[in-house]
Amino acid sequence: MKLTLVTGLTGLLLLGTIVELLRRRQLREKYGMLWLAVLIIVIPLSLFPRLLDNVAELLGVASGVSLVLFLGIVFLLLVCVHLSWEVSALEEETRTLAEDFALLRAEIDADRAARDELVSTDG
């Protein structure tokens, strides 16, 4: 009973945190959806940790809890891969931005030099 209380409260706390982050627009929609989906699975499990016992037996895993641990690690690995992918995309975007910025600066400098030359030949 005590264990159920601990895991259940943890699940609800997580849910509260994520909903509040979404409400304050600190999380973008795509990440928010992901975490809400995770919580919809995690909360029943935190209240009834033995829910997956039948599925575990079917898969040849000794207990439902081990199955949850296994799936949890797989999921976290996938999240890590996804974040690496997002970071790669972001790096590519900042690189493009830096290039655009440098090109603009080069154009402005060239403009300014041309104008200065015009002024000095006039004067």
Residues that bind another protein (CB under 8 A): 19, 22-25, 28-30, 32-33, 93, 96-97, 99-100
Q: CB of 109: closest distance to another protein in angstroms?
A: 20
Q: CB of 86: closest distance to another protein in angstroms?
A: 14
Closer to another protein by Cβ: residue 20 or 111? 20
Do residues 68 and 42 touch, judged by C-beta distance below 8 A? no
Beta-carbon contacts of residue 51 (< 8 Å; ≥ 6 apart): 44, 45, 64
Q: CB of 96: closest distance to another protein in angstroms?
A: 5
Closer to another protein by Cβ: residue 2 or 25? 25
Closer to another protein by Cβ: residue 50 or 105? 105
Q: CB of 15: closest distance to another protein in angstroms?
A: 12
